[in-house]
Each structure stands twice: as C-alpha cells, then as structure tokens.
A and B are shown apart, each in its own frame.
Chain A
Amino acid sequence: MAVMSYRQALHDTLRAEMLRDPDVFLMGEEIGRFEGSYKITAGLLDEFGPKRVRDTPIAEEGFTGAAVGAAMLGLRPVVEIMTINFSLLALDQIVNHAAKIYGMFGGQRSVPMVIRTPGGGGQQLAATHSQNVELFYAFTPGLKVVAPSSPADAKALLLASIRDNDPVLFLENLALYNTKGEVPDGDEPAEIGRAAVTREGTDITLVAYSRMAHVALQVAEKLASEEGISAEVVDLRSLRPLDRPTIIESVKKTSCAVVLEDDWLTYGIGAEVAASISDGAFDYLDAPVRRVAMAEVPLPYAKSLELAALPSANDVVTVVHQTLDAVGRRSVGAH
C-alpha cells in the first residue's frame, strides 16, 4: 500500500499493463514527445518507443476509429483524448462504431479498447473546454463507462478497463489528478458495473461519481463532525452498467437521497439515478430525491460566474439540510 496521486496511479498502471501485455499500446495527441497534456504518459515514450506510444495528429475521429479497428484485430489500444470535449469530434467512431461492432455483427469480433479522457470544469477554460458529456456515452449500450474518484479506483478500474474485451470510456477529472490516496499493491482489477459504498451512514444517501464522489466524502465528514448527521456515500464508479441494486440498498436504509453531479441537471445522470430510486425504493422514501447539478448554462470563463454555476460542497450541505428538514429528520442526527 502506497500513498500516491491519481495521476501517478494512472501512469503506473498504464506502464505496468504495457509491461505485462505487448498488445497494449497508447495513442493520442501529445502523449509521447510532449508527455501528455496532463503528464499521465510522462516517460513512456522513452521506455516503450513510438510503436507503443503513438503520437497522433489532431484528428480525434481518425485516431479513435483507428484504435477501434486495431482492437477488432485483437490489439488493446488505450486512447487518450485530451479532454472529453474533444471526444465529440470522435462521436461517430465511439457511438456508431466502437459501441456497435460486437452486437451489430452478431458477436463475431469484439473491440477491446479504452478511451481515457478527463472531464471537469472549474479551471476557467470557458464553455467548450469545461463540459461533462459522459452522459452521451453512458447512454449507449455496447459501451462501458467508468469514472474513478480515488487513486485506488483509478488503478483498479484502469486495470479492469484494459483487460476488458469491450470498449470502455474511462472518465478522469482535471480536479482529481493531484488528489492523493492509498493505492493497494498488486494488480487486482475492480469489477466494472459495481458501485461502492465509500462511507457508511444511516441518515441520508449521497450518490455521486468522479469529482463529486470526492466532494461527497468531504461533505459527509463535515456533516458528521459538525452536525452529527450520518451520511452514506455511494460512489457509482461505473456509469454503464449502472449498479442500481447498491443505490437501492442504501436508500432502503436511509430513506432519503441526494444525487451529486458535475453535469447539467436536465436529462442528466442524476435524473437516471433518481428515477431508479423511484422505481426500486419508492415505499422507503421519506423525501423527494434532490439533485445537486451544474447550472444549465454554457460554463462561463469569469471566476465568479464559473464558481456560481458549478456545484460545490456548500451546495450539497444546503440540499442535505433541506431534504432532512422537509421530513423533520434533521434532529435525528443533531445530538
């Protein structure tokens, strides 16, 4: 067990998998000579050479599609798309091709590939560089979408994604790269399609993924220490498949839930989680399921506006209070 950053966990895992399996190779813009926009691939070109760390032209559709084709012949490409915003340029290859090839041809060839890409606002990058469009991929059967929130999950889910025989969109987050945590030794992959209860609690369930799962844990600690509220945190980890049973199990215990998400509220992932809770735990709910989500605007550049639009820990605390107040349960935790 070592303490390391999310960035380091990704880097070390890529390296270990390339050492383990000669069919694993990396493709993407600026990943070699430049060592990656966010330096995840630092040093790998020197170690593995240009055949396995392939710098590409700025041609997301071309190189992402080429990775799909290489995967159809059994290689295991790991593509880096510099930010998830740029993945929109490769949408045809991801949604119309990577996601469809196994099914549309009756299971004759699979597409064992990974697309690593960070989402996230809060860096003053303005509207086109601050989106969280993982929903587009999580919407699509045939794809798997994972979203680790900790260095340990970054490692375990990346191992699982590289070894999986399906196309996996691996969602990273700009705000998480420098976060640190304990990372187990060895190479035990996580199971894609399983959420994790990252903190147990009894009063309310916080459902989140990626950066917001990190925020959820911070909020839960604060609620416990300052107000004696016991919040349980469900980290989705996998957006497709969505582990509904784990969410439902938690809500059956706490009887209320708040969903945290960095994307827009309307039609968002939180909407799916809330609908699932309504389906699976309706009789257990004491309060409507609330969502804390980004304001529905193209994210502005100005720091004051950006901060106002993005969901914060304080926003979560506010909504937790409102939810518990609505059912007269805030006193439950207030000793």
Chain B
Amino acid sequence: MATTSRKRPARSAKNAEELLGYYRQMLLVRRFEERTAQAYTEAKIGGYCHLNLGEEATVVGLMAAIEERDYLFTNYRDHGYALIRGMDPGRVMAELYGRQDGVSKGWGGSMHLFDTDVRQLGGYGIVGGQLPLAAGAALAVSYRDGDEVVMCQMGDGTTNIGAFHETLNIATLWDLPIVFVVVNNHLGMGTTVEMASAEPELYKRASSYRMESARVDGNDVIAVRDAAKVAVERARKEQKPYLLETVSGRLRGHSVVDPAAYRSKDEIAAVRAQDPVAGLHDRLVADGVAKAEDLAGVDADVHRIVKAAVEFADKSPAPEVSSLFDHTYASPVPNDSRRLPADPLFPVGA
C-alpha cells in the first residue's frame, strides 16, 4: 500500500498535449454538469440527479487508465464517466431528459447511464449494488480467459455496506481482474467518512482481503491516472484485484436539490480552494503549457458541445407509450401481463 500524490510539471510536448486533452475533458464534465443543474431547475430533468462537480480530475484520470476493451461499472454519480468513456453527450443529456434518444431510451435516467457500445455497464442507484455485478463481469472475463479488466467505481459510503465486503472477499479468492475505485469525497450525503467508517483511511480496508491498495490525490489528474494504471495492469497481467482510493471534494450538495446546509463556510472554502479544474487551468498557465486565452477557447468549444447536447435532448421525442412493455423480458413469454392501470385483466364481457 502506498499513498501517492504527484505534481509533475509538464515538460515534454507529449505531456503538454496530454494535459491539455485532460483539461478539455475535465472542462466538458464541469460544463455539462453545470448545464445539467440548470436543466434540473428548469424541470427538464426529473428524479434524483447527482453531479461530478469537484471530481473531474478523478473521473478523467480513471478513464485514461482503462482501455476500450475494459468494462466499467459505476454508482449513480455517473454523468462524467459516461462522457469521458465515450457516450455521446447528446444521448447522455437525452437520457437525463427521459427521451427516446437517450442511451437507455429514457428507461434509466441520471443514475443509470449504460451503453454497451462503450462497455459502461451502469450506473447503479442502490449503494453497493454494482460491486457484486462488477465482480461477476470479472468472473466472466476470467472464465473465458480474456484480458479485459473491470473497473468498479463507488463512493466512500459504500465501504460500509455488506456487498463491499462480500465482493472484495470473492475478488481475492477467485483471482478476479477487477479494480475497485473508492471515490472519497468525504461525504456520504451529509454523513462524513469519520462518522460512518471505523477505518476512515478507506484504502486500508483492502488489507482484510489481502488486496493491494493505494490512496491518491483525486484532484490531480495525472496522479489518478498513474495510480489507476498500476492497478489496471496488475489486474490485467496478474489477475489480481486492487483497491484504489481517490480523495477529492464535492463542490455542491449530494444531489442537485441539496443546499448542503450541513457544511461550514470554511469547509466549502477549502473544497473550492482545491477545485481540480481551476487548479489544472492555473498549472497549465504557470507551466507555460497554454495561455489563458487558449484555455478560454477550449472552454468555448466545450460550451458548444454542451449546448448541442442540450439541443439534441430537447428535440428528442418522449418515448412512445406503446413501447412500455418492450423491455420486461428478453425471451418472450406467454401470459406476461401487459395491462395499463385501468385495463381489466380480461376483456370486459368475455
């Protein structure tokens, strides 16, 4: 186990290009989430809606560490992962809008982003629910002697639920190629890690399962990427699970509707001072990688992408009511009930 935090200056042209690419991705998450919050207040988006604001470096760093062939499972705070993993921003926004062109045709919404084409297999709203599933996906990879890795993201609060412990145990016992990522933003809704976890250094929990683990600064995109690469390579080459804890902050409430009144001004100021997007911006300028006006241009590009996504979502029709029974069963079956609330069980007068 190791605690790593690296702030390397971008020296080479390759590094500069890479950093700029990450900045663009982080900004896409930032602007998309800000626009999502706005759309929610406009009642374009319903249900629960959790944003990745403050977790941009973590999201982008993690996604840089896995390959196309790999699988990703996440919790409900999943918009950023979807965007960077390669889902079309318009189709992601359309899913948030509950429209026909959404990645899941409007069946899942914000918490359940899923696109089999990019191997992001959900988006799960039940805390801890994705862990056994991800282990099962890794079991399938192993069963077929594949070389894919499964990355399973979760929040800090998840480390207290039974499924976490059952799954970590199984992952080691069965030599599963899986990387568990605990995104520690210090808060499970309003409950702090210290209030909820007897071992608040969450990465240490892996030791009970003889699993390698590390903690990394989740506000440093390169540090996250490099730490995740170590974990992914170990899973791929040695068929060993790994637990990576990333530590960052949540810039807003638990969900869009949460004003986070339980947080002190000092606490909020501290999180803002570590804003990963602003931090990378300043670092790029200070290191001479880019000028402020170049970065403003990146921002303008990203704004255009987000604007187009919103327009796409807005134009997409609501799903037809006639499709209501399309996805109950994959294998058709007789006598599956297809009635609407006021329909009789049997034709009247029959």
Contacts and interface: CB of A to CB of B under 8 A. Distances in A.
Q: How large is the interface on B (under 10, 10 to 19, 20 to 34, 35 or more residues)?
A: 35 or more
Q: Which of B115, B126, B133 has the most CB of A within 10 A?
A: B133
B169 A73 contact: no
B122 A65 contact: no
A61 interface: yes
Contact of B135 (A65, A245, A248): A65
Interface in B110-132: 112, 114-116, 121-124, 126, 128-129, 131-132
B266 to A, nearest CB: 38
Q: How large is the interface on A (under 10, 10 to 19, 20 to 34, 35 or more residues)?
A: 35 or more
B335 A194 contact: yes
Contacts, number: 178
A61 B162 contact: yes
Interface string A235-275: 00010011111001000000000000000000000000000
Contact of A65 (B71, B114, B115, B132): B132
Interface in B330-350: 330-331, 333-337, 344-346, 350
B330 A107 contact: yes
Interface string B66-86: 000001000000000000000
Interface stretch (B138-146, B229-237, B247-255, B275-283): B138-146
A241 B333 contact: yes
Contacts of B167: 62, 65-66
Contacts of B133: 65-66, 68-69, 72, 93, 97
A37 interface: no
A161 B315 CA distance: 42
Interface stretch (A51-59, A169-177, A312-320, A327-335): A51-59
B54 to A, nearest CB: 27
**Nearest 5 A/B pairs, CB to CB:** A69-B136, A65-B132, A62-B166, A110-B330, A73-B140
Interface of B: 71, 102-108, 112, 114-116, 121-124, 126, 128-129, 131-141, 143, 162-163, 166-167, 169-170, 173-174, 326-331, 333-337, 344-346, 350
10 contacts: A57-B169, A65-B133, A66-B170, A73-B140, A97-B132, A104-B107, A107-B105, A166-B330, A192-B333, A241-B335
